[in-house]
Structure 1
Amino acid sequence: MIWKRQDLSFKYTKKYVEILLICAVACFFFKQTLLLVIISFPLFLVLFQLYYFRKVGNGLVFVNDKKRVRLMKGTTAFLELSFQNNGLPIWNGAIVLTFQDCIAPFDADYNSASGFYEVNVPFSIGYKKSVTVQIPVVGIRRGLSRIKGIEVNIPHPLTEGSIILNYEPYILMDAIVYPTIYTIKEEFYPSRLKSGELELNSSLFIDPYFPVGTRDYEPGDQFNHIHWKASAKTQQLQTKVFTKVANVSVLFLVNLADGYRMVHDFEKKIEWLASHIEACYKANVPFAFGINIRSSGKRPFIYIPIGSGDTHRVQALEWLSILSTSNITVPFENIIRYIEAHEELPMSAYILSQQMEKYQPILRTWEQKTSVNYLLEYEGENYD
């Protein structure tokens, strides 16, 4: 069963039917025609109400598509609920939507209790019609807000009474609020000694798949770099000119454990990491990050490997959005050893942790392979 039905005032309606039927039968036997006509009108309304209550909502379908609404703190968006109706029309109804308080209703009628918001919005839908209800919400705090319930309240159009439909399947739609992101003044310097994807004129490496022009052939040029069409046009050998590229990539490691408990500046460190990820994204710098919070899967901790682009950015920010102080941590030195043994180090690494002297001996080997930046505490001066 998709909708769980609850009838309000239904038993009283049955009593009205019984009383009116007895009165109608009595009028018929005693030949009270006028009184029978008068009684027939409310009897018809009550019988219509019984029929309506039994059938309404049977053809109502909620389109339960998987969808995630993404917000920043203080920004607004819409939760869109789509319905299709193949049964009796619903007039002057209402939808009660319940969701977690990472987001809040914006300019709507609502109630709040125990970490949840309940929003009431009008709802009407005709026979064989489709309706999309938009509920404005605003991001309140970092986190994931799941929709816990959808309730449709259907009043009778003529008499008192109503039907309440509770949607029972798991609701796939949710909303996520990203960490606060600040503008930072960090520069990520490329390496000219390793091939990559960043365009850099002083690099020693070229991108063989991205020619940008031609020049006259010079002794020593590779045979497969000759541009034969251009050579035929100019009647002189022409060599392809390629874009010069360099490697720039960053690894962020953040220690969120202070002994057996979370650090006191948990939220600030999450915002620090989110801001640096956003800076890498805007500069088209590939990045990776590791956090000493336990995770299931291939790695026993949260780790996003080197990557770039929109999908990589969204994946990283969504991980940071769902972290909580109730998560289980792992020793910070374990993720350092794991990355050294199983992952390729990028061109630079940023290590944000307290008690750095404890981990520096383990990181000495990293300093021979990459540029390591030690950050003892959250550095607010990096932000504008």
Structure 2
Amino acid sequence: MNWIRYENGFKTIHNGMLLTATLFILCAIFAISTLAACFAAVFAMLAFQNVYFSKLGEGLKVNFKAEQQRILIGHHEELIMEFENGKIPIWNGTLIISMEDAVAPRHESAKNYSGIYDVYIPFAIGSNQKTEIRVPLEGKKRGKSQITRVFLEIPHLFGDGSVNMELKDPVVYQSLVYPKVTNLASELAPSPFKPGETQQRQSLFTDPFQPIGTRDYVPTDRFDQIHWTASARMQKLQTKEFLPVSAQNVLLMLNALEKDRMNEDFEKKIERIVAYADHCMKNDIPYAFAMNLRTFGGRPYLFLPSGSGKVQFQMLMEMLAKISDKYAKLPFNEMMQHMESTGQLPPTIVLVTHENDNIKRQVHRWTKRFSVIVDSSFEGIENEWKKQDVKRTGTNSTIPSA
């Protein structure tokens, strides 16, 4: 592996070797054997240190056991590094690992500087040996954490100098911290506007491949719906009954633009989207995802095509872990118009956004053809709604008072 070396204190060693060599020669000329032996010993120590530190670090390699780790906020993982040394042993070193603060090292020496954690670990390795270093990590916040620097500091055995080695090769390791997963209190009802595969008590549509019984014939029934075998048995015309079904595909749309004077608006919206995606995964509901962060390609915004199950949920979580609120954004109503122009809107649409006049107009048009849910619960609207005066109905439910 390639390391960048920074050498400090070698000039002092060279000057000391020159001085002790001169004094040794003078003592030898004047036959002062005791002083000559002392200066020879000092010269030997300085020469050994010079040769040792000039070759230190040759053949040192580091391997990361995993290229990527995936964890949730508050959960733990381990950064595992394996060092393999060459012929020159390393003593009394300090390994410094710098990483972004989406994860927090659970190490007493960890220090945080402007979004970067530095971890200081004592380091020593013998000749032609391997050693493994484990750093416990904890998911701190949603995002991506990469190792920005691997630095090895080795002080001189004698004197104040040191050899510092910084890993030049790029580090492929990264930690993805997924957003917090919360339960969705409400339910996503099937859309009454389009036929589908989801069973529903009352629907305009039925599945002709799922008969559930028969009933008496009425003049409005079609001829092909008559059950002739049952009619002969009952001695009167009987009509087939089929399972009432409706569509339940969902489009989740998130407005990345933050409302004025809203703290952590972006993160709260992401948590709300994850709650809907978790509900869809548990109920096997296909869903797509769109977010108004600018991207390159046919769609000028972030988009995840429709899918279902754990694979779709994993893809969404990875996408949300890699994005940042600092990315360029486009107006939310422009994304809504572009989605509508594609002609592929599903029957149920969930909008996680704060309200404004442009969005309200678009939602008003969509509600005529789709089931539209505008979710602003991240602003605390649900709590304010509960505080409103309510009046009792004839049942256990409540409705807002006028």
What TM-score do you get using the length of structure 1 for normalisation?
0.75
The aligned amino acid for 2:69 is V
**Structure 1 residues 278 and 89: alpha-carbon distance in aligned structure 2, compared to 1, 3 A threshold:** farther
The alignment covers a number of residue pairs equal to: 338
Q: Could you tell me how far apart the structure 2 residues matched to 1:369 and 1:131 are?
A: 64
Instruction: Give 2:144's aligned residue.
Output: 144
* Residue identity matched to 1:329: K
Contact 1:69 1:175 in 2 (8 A): yes
Secondary structure at the aligned position of 1:86 is classed as coil
- 1:178 and 2:178 matched: yes
Q: For the structure 1 residues 282 and 30, does the alpha-carbon distance in structure 2 shift closer, same or farther, using more than 3 Å as the test?
A: farther
The answer (yes or no) to whether the contact 2:64–2:80 under 8 Å persists in 1 is no
The residue that corresponds to 2:283 in the other structure is 283
- 1:130-279 → structure 2 map (5 Å cutoff): 130-157=130-157, 161-189=161-189, 193-194=195-196, 248-257=248-257, 265-279=265-279
Give the whole-Å Cα distance in 1 for the aligned partners of 2:21 and 2:207. Answer: 95
Partner SS, residue 109 of structure 1 = coil
Measured in 2, the distance between the counterparts of 1:151 and 1:319 equals: 31
Alignment-derived partner of residue 296 in structure 2: 296
* SS state at 1:372 partner: strand
Match of 2:187, SS state, is: coil
Q: What's the offset of the Cα at 1:17? A: 1.0
Q: Residue type matched to 2:126 in 1?
A: G
Matches within 5 A, 1:66-145: 67-145=67-145
Paired with 1:252 and 1:82, the residues of 2 have a C-alpha distance of: 43
Aligned to 2:314: 314
Over 3 Å counting, the alpha-carbon distance change for 1:304 and 1:110 in structure 2 is same
- State the 1:306 CA deviation: 0.9
Aligned counterpart, 2:355: 355
Shift in Å, 1:100? 2.4
Cα separation, partners in 2 of 1:279 and 1:127, compared to 1, 3 Å: farther
**Residue of structure 2 in register with 1:216 after alignment:** none
Take 1:253 and 1:277, find their aligned partners in 2: how far apart are those partners?
11
Change (3 A) 1:258 1:140: closer
Aligned-residue offset at 1:119 = 1.2
How much has 1:52 moved relative to structure 2?
0.9
1:94/1:297 Cα in 2 relative to 1: closer, same or farther (>3 Å)?
farther
| Alignment-derived partner of residue 209 in structure 1 | none
TM-superposed CA distance for 1:152, in Å, is: 0.3
Tell me how far apart the structure 1 counterparts of residues 197 and 340 of structure 2 sit (CA, whole Å).
Answer: 21
How far the C-alpha of 1:358 sits from its partner, in A, is 3.3
Query: Is the Cα–Cα contact under 8 Å of residues 272 and 352 in structure 2 kept in the other structure?
Result: no
Shift of 1:312: 3.0
Answer with 114-123 or 365-374: which moved more.
Answer: 365-374
Q: 1:46 to 1:26 in 2, by over 3 A?
A: same
- Return the alpha-carbon distance in structure 2 between the equivalents of residues 87 and 282 of structure 1: 56
Distance 2:195 2:174 in 1: 45
Q: Secondary structure at the match of 1:378?
A: helix
Is the 8 Å Cα contact of residues 287 and 306 (structure 1) preserved in structure 2? Answer: yes
Residue 335 of structure 1: aligned partner: 335
Structure 1 counterpart of 2:344: 344
Distance in 1 separating the partners of 2:109 and 2:207: 60
> Is residue 15 from structure 1 mapped to residue 15 from structure 2 by the alignment?
yes
When residues 54 and 124 of structure 1 are mapped into structure 2, their CA distance, relative to the original with a 3 A threshold, is same
Q: What letter corresponds to residue 354 of structure 2 in structure 1?
A: Q
Q: 2: CA distance between counterparts of 1:248 and 1:157?
A: 71
Partner of 1:236: none
Deviation at 1:269, TM superposition (A): 1.1
Distance 1:248 1:45, change over 3 A: farther
Q: Structure 1: give runs of 5+ residues left out of the alignment.
A: 197-201, 207-244
Q: 1:257 touches 1:263 (CA, 8 Å); kept in 2?
A: no
1:83 aligned counterpart, secondary structure: strand
Whole-angstrom distance in 2 between the partners of 1:378 and 1:22: 78
Secondary structure of the 1:63 match is: strand
How far did 1:311 drift?
Answer: 4.2
The separation in 2 between residues aligned to 1:283 and 1:330, in whole angstroms, is 32
**Kept in 1: contact 2:349–2:372 (CA 8 A):** yes
Q: How has the CA–CA distance of structure 1 residues 159 and 294 changed in structure 2, closer, same or farther, with 3 Å as cutoff?
A: same
Alpha carbons of 1:370 and 1:83: their partners in 2 closer, same or farther (altered >3 Å)?
Answer: farther
User: Per-residue displacement from partner, 1:251-289 (whole Å, max 9, x unpaired)?
Assistant: 111223368x79663222111012222232333433211
Tell me the distance in 2 between the aligned counterparts of 1:321 and 1:301: 17
| Mapped partners of 1:140, 1:99: distance in 2 | 13
Q: Which deviates the most, 272-281 or 341-350?
A: 341-350
Work out which of the two has the higher radius of gyration on C-alpha atoms and give 1 or 2: 2
Q: 1:289 to 1:80 in 2, by over 3 A?
A: same
